[in-house]
Amino acid sequence: MREKNSRLIVISLILLTMILVASGSISAEQSNLVSQIAISSEGKISEEGLKLTNWDMSNDNDELFIVGETGSIWLVKSDNPKDSILIENTFSEDLFDVSWHPAGNSVLIVGENGTLLRYSEGELKKPLETVNLYGESIKSIDWVPSGQMAYLGGENGTLYSYKNNTFTNLEIGWDSEISGISCHVQIDFCVIISRSNGIGLVDKEGIFHDIGLVGRVWIDSICPEGASDRCVIIGGGRAIAVLEYDRVNPQNSGLIKYPGGSSISYVTDFSGEFRSLSSGYNNQIFIQVVPFGIVEFSIEGMQSYAWLIPEDVIESSVELSATTPLISWEERLRDGWIISTDGTISKMSGKQLSGGVMGYALVALVAVSVPGAILGLIYMSSDTLQSKYLGWRKNKRKKKYGELIKKSRK
């Protein structure tokens, strides 16, 4: 058995190397990519050094809530981010995510050490029902569209529901940070993603379903309006997956396969790493990339396009290219704004293309599809790989959290 497992480990390393080589980035010059927008720097929302972490847009698209480290909270006008308002916060904990209630009358904010804040009627406070959630830092939050329930994800892999001022641990069995929760804007289901426990979803009945893809780093997810029952998920290595929800049998929900038969594609001819997701007109998805760039993804066509290539950002502003885009949104088609994690504001506008015509010159990005089952089967077939991975996870958690882990599972 030991000899067999050793061979499997070697095979898995070879396959992983092949994947990394295949998905190596190609420069814009080599692939003749063309940015669809021009970009210009428009100052900052604050002269102080900010470290913004996450955001949420109001239902009417008029305002954004943006949160960051050391308790930084900003209310941003979507039509003019330069008029941003700093919300006074006496609580200095780092903040990691924010979710606007579907009714639009309040906002929930989560952060380190079990922090939960509510902003309503111009006032920020800790709800009376708040508990410290055993000190577990809360990394993600989102409301279902009905507003009846919110879900919160912790750094230890704990998934909580929040309803009628009560928190409930769903006991999903994960132990890795829940890096994102995205609830559909029309249907009461939510996608749950993890740093290494894979992808899951919570259906309209509040039941958790494990989709799989353990061991991959999933970074962000989004369920845009008008995209039926589909949500887009991005991961390390410029990976893109699309989950489709089965309303009749939620347990049968899963990832849509690309033409090559894989559930995941890796964008190759675009430098950098994916950072976050936002949505634009016509149900397209914007993927913010580091170094500064944006990839456009079409859910309908399951295809990626160059929206803003890093080389063009450098040409426009070296200073701007050194920042990390957090969110981009459009006021009109191809005209809008970008805010970076340091608070830098950028204006994006439709590019004047050849022939004096304003229009798209879309160049599809090359994507490599690697059957996710290959490495998964190797992992599942190897007792050594599984035991080593699980042992590493347990030791890491024990060293970092000690007895708090036992308490959080009660």
Share of the chain above pLDDT 70, in %: 78
What are the pLDDT digits (tens) for 324-353? 999 999 998 889 999 999 999 999 998 755
Reduced to 3 states (helix: H, G, I; strand: E, B; else coil), residue 222 is: strand
- pLDDT, position 398: 52
Q: In degrees rounded to 5, what are phi and psi of residue 126? A: -90, 125
Nearest-angstrom CA–CA distance, 79 and 263: 37
- pLDDT, position 20: 44
Residue 381's pLDDT band (boundaries 50, 70, 90)? Answer: very low
Which of 42, 93, 96, 44 lies closest to 66, judged by CA?
96
**Burial degree of 9 (CB within 10 A; 0-12, 13-18, 19+):** middle
Domains of the chain and CATH, by start: 2-10+25-408 (2.130.10.10)
Segment among 29-43, 114-128, 140-154, 396-410 with least mean pLDDT:
396-410
Name the average pLDDT for the chain.
Answer: 83
Query: 276 near 286, Cβ under 8 Å?
Result: no
List the structure tokens of 18.
Answer: 């092949």
Segment among 24-28, 67-71, 155-159, 260-264 with least mean pLDDT:
24-28
Mean pLDDT of 280-305: 92
- pLDDT, position 392: 55
Overall pTM > 0.85: no
Residue 49's pLDDT band (boundaries 50, 70, 90)? Answer: confident
CA neighbours closer than 13 Å in the CB half-sphere of residue 1: 5
Which of 202, 240, 196 lies closest to 221, judged by CA?
240
Nearest-angstrom CA–CA distance, 294 and 308: 5
Nearest-angstrom CA–CA distance, 242 and 265: 10
| pLDDT over 50 at 354, yes or no | no
Share of the chain above pLDDT 90, in %: 63
Nearest-angstrom CA–CA distance, 237 and 241: 12
- pLDDT, position 269: 85
Residue 399's pLDDT band (boundaries 50, 70, 90)? Answer: low
- pLDDT, position 219: 97
